[in-house]
Chains A and B, each alone.
Chain A
């Protein structure tokens, strides 16, 4: 019988130069502190000896275009490439030098997709979507010089209305947990992004975050009080700038009713940085 052996969520711009440039020395120091915490978390993740690593993250209109934006998408196939783009934004330039290709856990990805369709989740499938910083910045920080476990990338549409609901994301996480439980593998699951930044996706409000909103999210996660999280509306998440909490909702569904252990919470002004683990063993 399979098992979720590690679960965590974390901010995914783990790039000191970006915050050094856009926020200043205190932004750089804060993300350096976060990176150190994520590295420690990675040691715990790898010590759990996962056969696969499910990564729940979002697209920044790097992969999907306005021709079609899947609400949720499973990357299938044997391997996945790192996104390469000339003139990429700074935090995607941070991927330069990482391996160009990563193995996928083909069997688990197929089960998540196929059993999802059978049980009412109309997931999209991609055979070619590459991975941007939302996936590879946390994965590379967690794994360091160690081999990256075979991945199951899972996209959630966090930014292009209409997004899936928080409750639906939670339900998708419950589905992932069922698939894992019915399989033979030890599985690590991480979600990435956030917390609050880019409120209302307004260029005029870049540089601000909603600390009160994020503190409430953290309290509810610590308490394992998941119903109020499922009841969050897209208006709540949009106005606060916590769009990427939808990724976290999938993970919370996968580990519910476990409560969270906050490993890092940093109020930078531009963004609230966070790293959280759930006790699943």
Chain B
């Protein structure tokens, strides 16, 4: 599990509107350079917030990403 990498990406999704737009257009392409496990990458691609949380993703990031927030 690369908790740091998961959370850095979540933080970018929250704070960087351009990255968020590219992620929503093509998540797999937006994550191409990210050092993620396959499980983490798939959780991002299908936007499975619960799984990302179980994999170490910050609850507070997951509930506050514009347009993707999960409550």
Q: Residues of A at under 8 Å CB distance from B?
A: 22, 60-62, 65-66, 85-89, 92, 159-160, 198, 201-204, 206
Q: Besides the contacts A61-B64, A202-B53, A202-B59, what 15 more A-B pairs have beta carbons closer than 8 Å?
A: A60-B60, A60-B64, A61-B11, A61-B61, A65-B11, A65-B15, A66-B4, A66-B11, A86-B66, A87-B66, A89-B64, A159-B59, A201-B59, A201-B60, A206-B59
Structural contact, A159 and B67, CB atoms closer than 8 A = no
- Quick one: closest A residue to B6, CB to CB? A66
Known contacts A61-B11, A61-B14, A89-B69, A160 near B58 by CB under 8 Å: yes
Please tell me the number of chain B residues within 8 Å of chain A, measured between CB atoms: 22
Which of B7, B8, B11, B64 touches A88 (beta carbons < 8 Å)? B64
Chain B nearest CB from A268 CB (Å) reads: 15
Q: Residues of B at under 8 Å CB distance from A?
A: 4, 7-8, 11, 14-15, 17, 49-50, 53, 58-64, 66-67, 69-71
Which of A22, A87, A92 touches B71 (beta carbons < 8 Å)? A22
Contacts of B59 in A (CB 8 A): 159, 198, 201-203, 206
Q: Which 4 A-B pairs have the closest CB atoms?
A: A87-B66, A203-B53, A201-B59, A89-B64
Structural contact, B50 and A204, CB atoms closer than 8 A = yes
Mostly helix, strand, loop or mixed at chain B's interface?
A: helix
Contacts of B50 in A (CB 8 A): 203-204
- Quick one: closest A residue to B9, CB to CB? A66
A259 to B12, CA, bound (A): 43
A142 to B66, CA, bound (A): 29
Structural contact, A206 and B8, CB atoms closer than 8 A = no
Structural contact, B58 and A201, CB atoms closer than 8 A = yes
Structural contact, B7 and A66, CB atoms closer than 8 A = yes
- Quick one: closest A residue to B11, CB to CB? A65
A181 to B17, CA, bound (A): 46
- Quick one: closest B residue to A161, CB to CB? B3
A46 to B42, CA, bound (A): 53
Structural contact, B58 and A89, CB atoms closer than 8 A = no
A231 to B70, CA, bound (A): 34
A192 to B8, CA, bound (A): 27
A201 to B71, CA, bound (A): 12
**Residue among A66, A86, A88, A89 with the highest chain B CB neighbour number at 10 A:** A66
Contacts of A86 in B (CB 8 A): 17, 66
- Quick one: closest A residue to B50, CB to CB? A203
